Amino acid sequence: MAADILIKNAKCLTMKDGKTADWVTIHNGKILALGYHAAESQFVNENTVVIDAGGNTVLPGFIDSHFHVVQTALNARSLNLSKGYSFEEIGLQIQRAAQEKPGQSIIGIRLQVEQLKEKKFPDRLILDRYCSDVPVWINCLDYQVSMLNTYGLLYYKVPFNMEGVDKDSQDVATGIFRGKANAVLRTNILDGIPDKVRKEAVLDIIPELLATGITTVNAMEGGYMYSDKDADFIFECSSEFPVDMALFYQSLDVEKMKRMNLNRIGGSFYVDGTMGARTAALSFEYADCPGRMGSLRYTQAELNEFVMECYKNNLQLSLYTIGDRAIGAALKAHEYALYQTGVTGLRHRLEHVELASTEHIQQAKKMGIIFSMNPTYETYWGGPDKMYSKRLGDKFIRTNMFREIIDQGVCLVGGSDSDITEYNPMIGIAAAVNHPVKQHRITVYEALELYTSKAAYAIFEEQQKGTLEAGKTADIVVLDRDILSTPHELLDQVKVIATIKSGDILYNALG
């Protein structure tokens, strides 16, 4: 049988039992065969498209296990404030945006308060200096805090008596929103976005996803701090995009999931908050804020009840847990539900899991709980001189213990949490291999598994994707070098030069 596509002169990492191959052929959207030496000639005729990999690595298409699709797409159209280091710098960016698009509301993202000279969030009076005639809505990097100018404060109509609305000494709203008020504000704004805009924005980012080798994402959509309209949009329209999207609907509504015939629930289903906002639930005090330990959004009884309902309805559940106290509460709820129901095999997940203890890891192994983690967090916040050390003191050495998690036999998968961090999988792979705490580092091959074979297992798709095997969907990427011989400090510079999705070449930088 002649192949539609032959990739030859390759170093194919099948991601299956360490097996390799020199070539791989594709026919009718599936992998036809793999092999060694010159045996590929039997699959070639005049119609076969031949790709010469040049001795470089060929892999299964990358799977991003934690990706906010609609938010990433919409925010790609927003004002990126990540390079702002003072009120004046971000103010001038806002001012330029207002001049370039007069009359249009302004959305700013990725503001990092700790890098600002002023070391605090800009309030409405600061923002008014640069733009006062249209709504300005600014988000911090992890979306836990929003800022509005005076026009936006009046325009978006969040009740000023709501918990989380900052007020000055005169009891007047400052335009800074945290907690519940921030969540309500975000949802109100996002609910007003038409699906037409969502679709245009998602279509805009698809070429960039393919250029990084991403062929599947776990779409974390809807729920607290987001908009259920995002999740409904992905449910209705994801088949129209060439990148596969496994929907994780961030909801408490089990009956709705059943009506939609979804077999999973959750994603960024917040059990606690973030380290940056000091709302992640810790078992100890924050080093830079004595007396504060973060908080849980649910009582143990509430969490137990919800988790058990998911077990009873055979729904794969994914819970957002960052602090060790949140991780412990989630695992306790799973232990309770497992004891009460005896239901196994649902491949439940914890997302982020930044501060898991050895005991937590062992508990997860016993129950078959998957850890879906974000290696790039260590690049952003890890090590002795970044956010983790500021918040946790010397306990920063306990964050994201990839080595121990794998060694204990827990299934570990990797995601970007886009657009909190960049979605290029090579950045995440480099971060896992170069963890700033050496004892937590993993090998390049293990890091690749996080984004291929193990990621497919985590969404029950290991029979279709995640490895290069005959009969599987032809989701394949070609890299620009041999990744196993690349110096670890250069891994984040590895590029994808071709991406094949279901047998179609959708990205090709080979010329």
pLDDT in tens, the chain (511 residues): 899 999 999 999 999 999 999 999 999 999 999 999 877 788 999 999 999 999 999 999 999 999 999 999 999 999 999 999 999 999 999 999 999 999 999 999 999 998 999 999 999 999 999 999 999 999 998 889 999 999 999 999 888 888 999 999 999 999 999 988 999 999 999 999 999 999 999 999 999 999 999 999 999 999 988 999 999 999 999 999 999 999 999 999 999 999 999 999 999 899 999 999 999 999 999 999 999 999 999 999 999 999 999 999 999 999 999 999 999 999 999 999 999 999 999 999 999 999 999 999 999 999 999 999 999 999 999 999 999 999 999 999 999 999 999 999 999 999 999 999 999 999 999 999 999 999 999 999 999 999 999 999 999 999 999 999 999 999 999 999 999 999 999 999 999 999 999 999 999 998 6
Q: Are residues 346 and 430 in the same domain?
A: yes
pTM for the structure as a whole:
0.93
In a domain, 254, yes or no: no
Q: Are residues 459 and 470 in the same domain?
A: no
Q: Are residues 329 and 456 in the same domain?
A: yes
In a domain, 424, yes or no: yes
Distance CA 316, CA 269 (A): 13
Residues in the chain: 511
Per the structure, the complete domain to which residue 151 belongs is given by: 71-191
Distance CA 48, CA 33 (A): 14
Distance CA 41, CA 35 (A): 11
Domain boundary among the residues 191, 208, 226 is at 191
Orientation angle between helical segments 358-367 and 324-341, nearest 10 degrees: 30
Give the count of beta carbons closer than 10 Å to the beta carbon of residue 447: 28
What is the domain-level CATH number for residue 484? 2.30.40.10
In a domain, 207, yes or no: no
Q: Which helix (H) or strand (E) holds 108?
A: strand 106-111
User: Is the separation of the CB atoms in 122 and 131 below 8 Å?
Assistant: no
Give the count of beta carbons closer than 10 Å to the beta carbon of residue 167: 12
In a domain, 12, yes or no: yes
Environment class of residue 293 by beta-carbon count within 10 Å: exposed (0-12), middle (13-18) or buried (19+)?
middle
In a domain, 298, yes or no: yes
What is the domain-level CATH number for residue 279? 3.20.20.140
CA-wise closest residue to 281 among 267, 297, 299:
297
Given the DSSP bridges, would you call strands 264-270 and 244-249 parallel, antiparallel or unpaired?
Answer: unpaired
The SS3 of residue 188 is helix
Q: Are residues 458 and 315 in the same domain?
A: yes
The letter for the amino acid at 113 is V
Q: Are residues 491 and 450 in the same domain?
A: no
Distance CA 292, CA 325 (A): 13
Q: Are residues 442 and 300 in the same domain?
A: yes
Alpha-helix residue ranges (DSSP H) falling in 342-473: 358-367, 376-381, 387-392, 402-407, 425-433, 444-450, 453-457
Distance CA 240, CA 230 (A): 15
Q: Are residues 479 and 459 in the same domain?
A: no
In a domain, 211, yes or no: no
Domain boundary among the residues 143, 171, 191 is at 191
Q: Are residues 318 and 176 in the same domain?
A: no
Q: Are residues 271 and 353 in the same domain?
A: yes
User: Per residue in 76-92, is it b (16+ CB within 10 Å) or e — as a string?
Assistant: bebbebeebeebeebbe
Give the CA distances from residue 40 to residues 52, 343, 409, 503, 508, in Å, rounded to whole numbers and listed in that order. Answer: 12, 46, 37, 17, 22
Point out which residues pair with 101 in neighbouring strands: none
Given the DSSP bridges, would you call strands 145-148 and 136-140 parallel, antiparallel or unpaired?
Answer: antiparallel
Give the CA distances from residue 77 to residues 111, 147, 171, in Å, rounded to whole numbers and listed in that order. Answer: 15, 18, 35
Q: Are residues 416 and 492 in the same domain?
A: no
Domain boundary among the residues 143, 169, 191 is at 191
In a domain, 215, yes or no: no
How many CA atoms does the CB half-sphere of 437 hold within 13 Å?
Answer: 24
Q: Are residues 476 and 390 in the same domain?
A: no
Distance CA 331, CA 335 (A): 6
Q: Are residues 381 and 494 in the same domain?
A: no
Give the CA distances from residue 126 to residues 37, 129, 223, 454, in Å, rounded to whole numbers and listed in that order. Answer: 67, 6, 31, 47
The number of distinct structural domains making up the chain is 3
Give the count of beta carbons closer than 10 Å to the beta carbon of residue 247: 23
Sign of CA dihedral 432, 433, 437, 440: positive
The SS3 of residue 344 is coil
What is the domain-level CATH number for residue 187? 3.10.310.70
How many CA atoms does the CB half-sphere of 227 hold within 13 Å?
Answer: 21
In a domain, 109, yes or no: yes
